[in-house]
Every structure is written in structure tokens, then in C-alpha cells.
Chains A and B, each alone.
Chain A
Amino acid sequence: MARSMWRGAIQFGLVTIPVKLYLATESGGIGFNMLHASCLNRIQMKIYCPYHDEVVPRSETVRGYEYAKGRYVVVTEEDVDSIALKTMRAIEIEMFVDARKEANGAQFVKQAYYLEPDEIGRKAFYLLKSVLADEGKSAICKIVLKDREQLAALNPYASTMLLTTLHWPDEVRALEELDLPEADVTFKPGERAMAEQLVASMTGDFSADAYKDDYRQALMAVIERKVAGEQPEPALRAEPTNIGDLMAALEASVAAARESRAQNAEAPAVLEVDVAAEAPRRRRKTA
């Protein structure tokens, strides 16, 4: 059974909806361990203090904030606990925004979480979900996760709601650093029409199932072969095929079509009548 990583409540006006949070995604990357090349044992990372020239156990470390070059202030657990955050155990809804508006900064996402309502809050949970879906709204809220207050967006998703943590505005880099002369660029109507045609031809319904991490699969296959004692095969490079082969394929196809037509012509007369009845019009018609 999935393990929740946070428990609290959605605060929505005077309504409190108890919920649990589950990570919605997991890293698909292949993890490696660092080994000592000569003995293939795992390398250990030790915490080292250059002042005392000794390895330090984690229990003897504290958190420090560098407020000036080389000068630190120690921040203890008590200091952190003393911060009275309203959102400590709550998903505090601040406002509702149009879910489709891109200008609200909600596209700078960090991590997605599934919400699971406690039994007592199910009705209110699904009521909120239903209203958000029908109105096309997204709830902007705050939540404390991993000792940090996070900005987040709450959106209907399948049979639940998705909480997506967002970057704070001061974490988002300014576009002014880039050379983006959008206003200086003009398009001819023909160019615009061509681009619209291209977009239309490639428009479809996105389904994430249609995409897969090819690199990960190939790397995993190499690992599995090595585990089985096989040497990985060098990547095969197909012999370059030139455009002449394609033309030869066309000629072959024309020859085959001609032969097929000749065979049809030799078929019994009754069949010829049927074919003639179904023959396409030879008059051209503009589409």
C-alpha cells in the first residue's frame, strides 16, 4: 500500500478537509553506486572537518547559515519549531485562479502530489474538486513540506486532486537576461498560414503512455547483459541508404502494380464488368 508523506487538511474558508499526500511521480533514472575501481567495493562518503582534521559523525553536525563570507549563525531544531506557520499542517487555499491562464506563474512547477481525503472529508473534497473542474479554476495555496513553506496549485485530476508545488516568484529567473526581441519580429500571412497548417497537422490528444524513456531501457538492457555475463554489443550502425534505393523501390512498386493490373485484365469477363462498374472517375475534381 502506498505510504503517505504528509497528513493535514485543506483549509478552505471555514471548511476543513483532512487529506493525505502521496508523491505522484518517482524518478525513472537508473541509480549507480560509486565503487573503488581496484576492489569494486562501495566508496563511503565521510563528513570531514578540515579544522580538526578528523572525520565527524552526523550526530555532531549542526545547521549553519552563512550570513557573511565565512561567518555562520547556527539554526537549531528549536529555532525552526519556533516559527509559527499557519500552514504547518494545512493546505491553506489563498485564492482561485483561471486554470488556463499562463500568466499566473503556475507553470514553474517542482513536484506533484496526489491527495487522498480521509473518510470524514470525502464529500467536501469531491465537492471542491467538482467545482474547480466545472469552473475551470485552480486553487493557489500554501503548504509546509520538508520544513519549508511551499507555494502550490491544487487541480482536479482523474479521481482525485493534484497538488503541484510551485517556485516562489523570487526563485524564477527574469526573462530580461535573455535576448528575446519578439516585438521586432513580423510574420507574413503566408508564413503564419503555413505554421498554422503545420500545427494543425500535428495536433492530437496527448497521452503520456505513448512516450517511453528509450535511453533508460537501452541502458537497462546493457546492465542485464553484463549481469548475465555477456559483453554489451557495440551499437549497430546501419549502412547508409541513399535516395536511389528509394527510387528503385518506387520503380519496383510500379512494376508490381502494372503486373497486378495485367492479371486483373486477364480475369473472366464477368469480373471485368464488376471492375468497370467500380472504376474511379477520370474527370478531375478540385478538392
Chain B
Amino acid sequence: VPGEQLPLSIGRSPLRRLPARLRVMQPTAVDAPFDDPEYWFEPWWPGVRGLAFVENGELRLRAEGLNDALAALPELGDLAEQLTTDGVVLDGTLLVLDDDGRPDADLLRRRLAEGRGPGRAAFVASDLLYAGGVALGRRAYRVRRARLLEVLPAGEQVIVGRGHVAEGLLMADALRELGVAEQSARQMSARYRGGPAGAAWLRMPTALPGLAPVVTRRPSLALIMRLPLD
């Protein structure tokens, strides 16, 4: 007599639990911008390093030294709904924009210190550490960035940062005009590693050696919008 067959159903495997904390990669300081086809160049926006953890649709936002930055930056509360998958950890920069849309470090400091204040919060994601609950740190930055663009469609306040491959000197020129003093360079083939990044991630001034440094000012949208587009 055949044994009674029990219905067997295999549901979706539950997402692996995201780590409560992550040791973030720290960039290596270099003294000047450069061109290199192996690197992805993007602005170093005047903000605070932020990690966004999204698990079971819930967002946890960590800023440098602040476990729950969401209370101070409530505009970012919809970030989880913007993602195309769950179990995500984004690495990026938290900003507060003034009424002209310029990143304002003073407004950001005030928000983080007092929990409220003027301006509009924004998050520029530049790396993807987990997606679908799966760690991506061992994948090359090229792969992580491509996946990041799939996982995070552009929103009003949360966006994947823009940049350019190879053309670090061009990016530095553009950023100097914007009033941004530093830029970042990520090695396209590099893994994500907690702690010092070595050559995997570099941070450099946009000013060239021997030339006057960028006068620190907030990037002026009004000025840049007058410049010709391609």
C-alpha cells in the first residue's frame, strides 16, 4: 500500500538576515586627480557617509557615529519602497540640500545634531553591499554598480550617484567649476573590503598640484545651469 503522500511545498527561502553593523571601506587619500581606464570617478559630495539597510521592507539608516539617522532625515523614509528588491544595503552619502538644491554641510550638521531643521535630505548611493539578502562584497565594483542601478531606480531624494569611467581629470575640472573640492575614484575590478581600501577606492582633491585649491563654496546650481549641455 503506497504511503500517504504529504503535500510538500517549498516556499521562497527566507532572506538571510542582514548584519546589524558593517565595517565600511575607507578610501585612501591621494594628492591629485588622474586619468585611468580602470577607475570610476565621481564627486565627493559635502555630506556624511551613510549606510541604508532595508530588510523586510523596513529601513535602517546609519550615518557616521549615528545609528538612527532616519529620525533626523525623515524625507528618506520612503527609500525602501523605491527599491526593486529587499535585503539591501546601500553605501553612499547623506546630504541636506538648501532651497537652491545645493548640498549644505551646515544644514546637514544641524539636522543630525538637533534632529530637525530646514533643507531637504537626500541620499546619493555609490555602492551596493547586499541585494536580495546576498552579500555582494566579493563581486567587482563594476558588477556591484550595475546591480545598484537595477536595484535603485532614481527617485526624488534618493539616487545612484553619477560619474565617469577613466576621465578623472575631466571630472576634476567639472567639479572645480561646481565648487566641489574633492572627488572619489573606485577601481572597477576591486572587491568591497572593510577598513582601509588600498587602491580599491581613492579620495583626492579636485585641484591640480601646484595650482590654487578650490575655494570652498557650495556648488552653485544657478551658475552651472547656464553652461551648455551636450
Which chain A positions have C-beta within 8 A of B202? 284
Which chain B positions have C-beta within 8 A of A240? 120
State whether A287 and B30 are in contact (beta carbons under 8 Å apart), knowing that A250-B43, A256-B228 are contacts in the complex.
Answer: yes
If over half of A's interface residues share one DSSP class (helix, strand or loop), that class is named, otherwise mixed; here it is helix
State whether A255 and B64 are in contact (beta carbons under 8 Å apart), knowing that A244-B156, A260-B173, A280-B32 are contacts in the complex.
Answer: no
Quick check: A256 and B157 within 8 Å, CB to CB? no
Which chain A positions have C-beta within 8 A of B158? 243
B209 at the interface (CB under 8 A from A): yes
Q: Which of A230-287 contact B (CB under 8 A)?
A: 237-238, 240-247, 249-261, 280-287
Which chain A positions have C-beta within 8 A of B28? 286
B6 at the interface (CB under 8 A from A): no
Interface size on B, residues (CB 8 A): 51
Cβ of B102 to closest chain A Cβ, rounded Å: 8
Cβ of A237 to closest chain B Cβ, rounded Å: 8
Which chain B positions have C-beta within 8 A of A251? 162, 229
Interface size on A, residues (CB 8 A): 34
How many residue pairs bridge A and B at CB < 8 Å? 121
Which chain A positions have C-beta within 8 A of B103? 246
Quick check: B164 and A243 within 8 Å, CB to CB? no
B219 at the interface (CB under 8 A from A): yes
Quick check: A256 and B177 within 8 Å, CB to CB? yes
B115 at the interface (CB under 8 A from A): no
Q: How far is the CA of A258 from the CA of B171 in the complex (A)?
A: 9
Quick check: A253 and B174 within 8 Å, CB to CB? yes
Which chain A positions have C-beta within 8 A of B34? 280-284
Which chain A positions have C-beta within 8 A of B178? 249-250, 253
A194 at the interface (CB under 8 A from B): yes
Quick check: B228 and A243 within 8 Å, CB to CB? no
Cβ of B23 to closest chain A Cβ, rounded Å: 10
Which chain A positions have C-beta within 8 A of B219? 246, 249
Quick check: A253 and B221 within 8 Å, CB to CB? no
Quick check: B221 and A241 within 8 Å, CB to CB? yes
Indicate which residue in B30, B101, B164, B229 contacts A246 across the interface (CB closer than 8 Å).
Answer: B101
Quick check: B159 and A255 within 8 Å, CB to CB? no
User: Which of B31, B123, B170, B224 has the most C-beta atoms of chain A within 10 angstroms of its own C-beta?
Assistant: B224
Q: How far is the CA of A175 from the CA of B200 in the complex (A)?
A: 50
Chain A: CB-nearest residue to B102: A246
Q: How far is the CA of A95 from the CA of B177 in the complex (A)?
A: 58
B225 at the interface (CB under 8 A from A): yes
B29 at the interface (CB under 8 A from A): yes
Chain A: CB-nearest residue to B123: A243
State whether A282 and B35 are in contact (beta carbons under 8 Å apart), knowing that A247-B162, A256-B228 are contacts in the complex.
Answer: yes
B33 at the interface (CB under 8 A from A): yes
Quick check: A243 and B122 within 8 Å, CB to CB? yes
Which chain B positions have C-beta within 8 A of A79? none
**A257-B177, A284-B30, A286-B31 are known contacts; what are 20 more A-B pairs with Cβ within 8 Å?**
A191-B65, A195-B65, A238-B99, A242-B122, A243-B97, A243-B158, A245-B101, A246-B101, A246-B102, A246-B122, A247-B162, A250-B175, A254-B171, A255-B228, A256-B177, A257-B173, A280-B32, A280-B208, A286-B28, A287-B30
